Structure 1
């Protein structure tokens, strides 16, 4: 039986206090609002009755964008939900859409453990329900535990591409800072400065280590010292590149920007995936060319792909395949 979609006045709908989202991407919200102004809200939100009005259960971004677009009514599906069902639905929806960062996810998991123990008696029970590993749940909750409230806003959402927005820091690094640095105010300062200043993985690790060893030294001074140290060039790869690099299948990497201006033929660089490097690579050449000139051989060197497979992978990371985009093509061979 199909559910009935009703047109409900926006003034009778209110955001849920149980929604785990701490912040909404304003740019994306503006884009959604512009789309709604043009074509209307195509996908109904889900609400639950609250006295004589309604509360948003699923679709808060659409609800807020509809307000911004000036709609008077929105299509909605009305269902009855308990509080724990609302939290669970929000968690599942946002985890699947990568809308929440580790802090936000951790807070929801904590809520489920404390308020719904019969249904969620353990972290593994939550992990099984939302389709992630128990380790992931543990890390999310650890982030909540070790990071002060002020530091939490700098933690980036997790994404498939692993890209971290400007002014944000990945949650693994944030947790390392939270564990290594004792003073809460110092944690905030370190996280804020590392979020603002994009450093390579090894340099970040060195900064955290030095701050823990010399807590009285100003963070800016520590960062300057680390930057002055002679550090090897690093190239970052996705987790699924690891096997391809180690078995020598991947001998080429294309980037929209050159990872390091020092990178040139003959350079030895460290191949890095989050943690310290997994292999040393010798750069054999660096060239620039437009994506339109990529062929099957290029795709094969990128990791044994066909050209169509490589295009799909590129789109997944960069959003589109623009044939006129000029990229750096870095050729290399594994040294050890």
Structure 2
């Protein structure tokens, strides 16, 4: 490790990140001023200067903090290795948007086609699924530069920053709404109102079906529709018979709140309208026999098996949303039964 003059270091020209979070840079800069830079960056020699390979945010924060020198590890990397390293490092931290990941993958396939002739070979070498890589590349190629400005990564709770939209929602819009002006208008609405992915899909379908209505009108139509909860076919009868009056979910549509009317669906059509009586967050480990009974007439042990069948495992420390409801209206279910 060496102490390198910051004036001799330049940013990584191959970094897939299109922008840096100023708030995050400010936080790191404050920490550096107080404690110094605790973790060295990794750089490589380029002619008469050095180039950042790993740690560009720390490099930028150190400059902002007014440091003259910075601890750095000097290693030799080819351009291909730098791209691979940046892609893997940032994906593991989930820092990059799908667009930025797609940019990396596209460059590897275009500039290093011998090593990465196909998406499958890329997945094998880098350890990612081909479906995932295909989604990244599609996001980079199909989402216009104008819309890319509104795309950001979500936090650990799945929330994007104010005024931003997730890559998947942006890709749905790019694939289904053909007019660029309508694409941009819808992206702005989604970013401002934090519209869910399911509702984005509904809106894009309406855009295709009704060419005469404005984006704002179509968004308002979907916003006014009741929220939906999807149930298994085996749960339909217990719900209609009043035995199942509770459902627990890992995530919750913002429309689902106490007093709201929600639509109980298998997929299509809906079999009942429900009124939400109560919503509370609860750890799975705190579930009681009474909870299990409300979930469909189960014992607690039976409900644990149902949960594991649906979600893979039963983690007593996992917090879920429990929704207690009652029937408002039963639908015509002859076609379902």
TM range (shorter): 0.7 to 0.9
Cα 1:199–1:330 change in 2 (3 A) is: same
The answer to whether the Cα contact below 8 Å between 2:227 and 2:256 also exists between their aligned partners in 1 is: no
Instruction: Indicate the residue corresponding to 2:81 in structure 1.
Output: 85
Q: TM-score, normalised by structure 2?
A: 0.74
Cα 1:44–1:268 change in 2 (3 A) is: same
Q: Provide the rounded CA distance (Å) in 2 between the counterparts of 1:126 and 1:158.
A: 25
The answer to whether the Cα contact below 8 Å between 1:98 and 1:159 also exists between their aligned partners in 2 is: no
Mean Cα deviation higher: 208-217 or 70-79: 208-217
- Give the gaps of 5 or more residues in structure 2: 237-243, 289-299, 331-335
**RMSD across aligned C-alpha pairs, in angstroms?**
3.9
Q: Kindly report which structure 2 residues correspond to 1:241-320, keeping only aligned pairs within 5 A, or say none.
A: 251-252=247-248, 259-260=254-255, 262-264=257-259, 268=262, 286=278, 296-298=285-287, 309-311=315-317, 313=318
Instruction: Indicate the residue corresponding to 2:323 in structure 1.
Output: 330
Give the deviation of 1:263 after TM superposition.
3.2
Superposed CA deviations along residues 301-332 of structure 1, whole A, max 9, x for unmatched, are: 89579xx9554x45xxxxxxxxxxxx975347
Instruction: Indicate the residue corresponding to 1:232 in structure 2.
Output: 226
Cα 1:261–1:207 change in 2 (3 A) is: closer
Are 2:190 and 1:194 aligned?
yes
- Give the gaps of 5 or more residues in structure 1: 237-241, 315-326
Give the deviation of 1:145 after TM superposition.
1.9
Cα 1:218–1:270 change in 2 (3 A) is: same
Give the deviation of 1:86 after TM superposition.
1.0
Instruction: Indicate the residue corresponding to 1:131 in structure 2.
Output: 127
Are 2:208 and 1:212 aligned?
yes
Instruction: Indicate the residue corresponding to 1:100 in structure 2.
Output: 96
Q: Provide the rounded CA distance (Å) in 2 between the counterparts of 1:156 and 1:276.
A: 32
Give the deviation of 1:285 after TM superposition.
5.1
The answer to whether the Cα contact below 8 Å between 1:200 and 1:234 also exists between their aligned partners in 2 is: no
Q: Provide the rounded CA distance (Å) in 1 between the counterparts of 2:159 and 2:180.
A: 27
Q: Provide the rounded CA distance (Å) in 1 between the counterparts of 2:72 and 2:271.
A: 53
Give the paired residue count.
299
Q: Which structure's CA Rg is the greater one?
A: 2
Cα 1:202–1:89 change in 2 (3 A) is: closer
SS in 1 for 2:71: strand
Give the deviation of 1:150 after TM superposition.
0.8
Mean Cα deviation higher: 215-224 or 147-156: 215-224
